[in-house]
Structure 1
Amino acid sequence: MKENPIGVFDSGVGGTSIWKEIVHRLPYENTIYLADSKNAPYGNKSKQEIIDICLKNAKILIDKGAKIIVVACNTATTNAIDVLRATFNIPFIGIEPAIKPAALATQTKAVGILATKGTLSSDLFHKTASEFAANISVIEQEGTGLVPLIENNLIDSLEMEILLQKYLKPMMTQHIDYLVLGCSHYPYLIPKIKEIIGNHVTIIDSGFAVAKQTEKILSEKELLNSNHKNGEHYLMSNSNTNTLKHLIKEINHINVQQVDF
């Protein structure tokens, strides 16, 4: 089992921002990444649709030998992680918006969160926000339209610039000092976001914390790969792979394929 891969899935290419953190932190681990671009974004689907998709994705990864699965999608985590853990007998790592560190660190008592509708409307998000952000102002903004542009490699497009200006400028008028990225696609927008909000607003995403937690759980379960050779990485997408290949071009030992699932 130790040489079996870490499985990762997301509603498209965005979860590679999480996957990269895992590869950098755990260079000897093999990985399988499933990019469910055909169903992206999950954020505008019903809870049951999201659960059904996640069950299918998890089964694909388990059938390919995954020893642990990282759900590299905020919407999938907040809507389906409990069902996944109850259904399958391997560890699952989820991600959720990092409201807690932002709420504890803010000096202006105002933090922004950019996320999908599915994440912002989830029970888990509201539970976390009410627990840690009860005494601060949380400015929520749905990032409608951002995921499709990233999926189509249009990060530097005029359409992206217009949407980011529309979503971020109102947050700035409310004096946020932390911006939480509540979608694994959004770290790829950080350079563009910084152009708009400047350097005095701290941007928080979940990648580093998820990679650290993955290492912790693998260690506890005695599943860390003991072979000290660079891991091999298989990435599959049910859509065009051009954007996927572009986003991970700096990683070695990878095999990218378009697969129907």
Structure 2
Amino acid sequence: MSNKHPIGIFDSGIGGTSIWREIASLLPNESTLYLSDSINAPYGEKSPEKILEFSVKNTELLLEKGSKIIVVACNTATTNAIKILRNTFDVPFIGIEPAIKPAALQTKTKSIGILATKGTLSSALFSETLKKNTTDITVIEQVGKGLVELIESGKLYSNEMTSLLTKYLNPMLEKNIDSLVLGCTHYPYLIPQIKTIVGQKVTIIDSGLAVAKQTKSILEKFELCNTLSIVPTYKFYTNSKKSVLKNILKDVELDYTIKKRKF
């Protein structure tokens, strides 16, 4: 049985396109529908109540447009809202949270760094995951305040970005980390700059491919895969400037559309 409805994806802005890239690559037969809630970015600075409100609104819009599965491509929304979303809506959800477990398993120095938003680091789910996986490991947590705003403003390679990253990462290097967990879907776009600061000895870990694999697995489990030989569509919606999305997707060779709309 084939299902040609799209995979719905939402994030507090353009960061979740790092997840979208992995999904589009791993599942080339699947159409996608992406919501960029840039007006409310970053979710990491919002209250848990607001994060839930935004997550419900985004989910309702994706379902209204026929999504067969929803990927919450935002660490903060996952850690604060996914349990309620799963209990409220009758559709499979894929969440994303910082890849603490793989970092803990591979560290040799017994010291790992986690760069994430305030909303993720202060969530109950994050605390549970940390407690479960890092009993004998030093964990240096850092709120990436200001990073999402700079990415959303198209200032990826600005002096301001370099300055903030240096300020956040140097204390981790002083604590001898050998793994750095990126706990926000915006942050993979910072990997080139991060590498110049942390060097070759630190492994940078993000969850993108793992989320794409889990999406594939759930589609197969619920028999939701598209097996028809149709050309998939890639639709993006933003409630802010289309140019911000265009800029972050400028290297993408797939045929996609971007529309601005209120939500």
1:66-119 alpha-carbon deviations (Å, 9 max, x no partner): 000000000000000011001100000000000000001100000000000000
Q: Secondary structure of the residue that 2:3 maps to in structure 1?
A: coil
Q: Secondary structure of the residue that 2:258 maps to in structure 1?
A: strand
Runs of 4+ in 1 over 3 A off after TM superposition: none
Consecutive unaligned residues in structure 2, runs of 5 or more: none
In structure 1, how many angstroms separate the alpha carbons of the residues matched to 2:242 and 2:164? 25
Q: Secondary structure of the residue that 1:176 maps to in structure 2?
A: coil
Tell me the TM-score normalized by structure 2.
0.98
Structure 1 segment 1-261 matched on structure 2, within 5 A: 2-249=3-250, 250-261=252-263
| CA displacement at 1:13 relative to structure 2 | 0.2
Write the letter of the residue equivalent to 2:136.
Answer: N
In structure 2, how many angstroms separate the alpha carbons of the residues matched to 1:84 and 1:103? 29
Write the letter of the residue equivalent to 1:260.
Answer: K
In structure 2, how many angstroms separate the alpha carbons of the residues matched to 1:212 and 1:251? 22
Consecutive unaligned residues in structure 1, runs of 5 or more: none
| CA displacement at 1:260 relative to structure 2 | 1.1
In structure 2, how many angstroms separate the alpha carbons of the residues matched to 1:251 and 1:71? 24
Write the letter of the residue equivalent to 2:259.
Answer: Q
Give the superposed CA RMSD. Answer: 0.8
Q: Secondary structure of the residue that 2:104 maps to in structure 1?
A: helix
Tell me the TM-score normalized by structure 1.
0.99
In structure 1, how many angstroms separate the alpha carbons of the residues matched to 2:61 and 2:31? 16
Q: Secondary structure of the residue that 1:148 maps to in structure 2?
A: helix
Write the letter of the residue equivalent to 1:255.
Answer: T
1:8-59 alpha-carbon deviations (Å, 9 max, x no partner): 0000000000011000000110000000000000011111111011000000
| CA displacement at 1:248 relative to structure 2 | 1.5
Contact 1:27 1:230 in 2 (8 A): no
1:154-191 alpha-carbon deviations (Å, 9 max, x no partner): 00001101000000000000000000000000000000
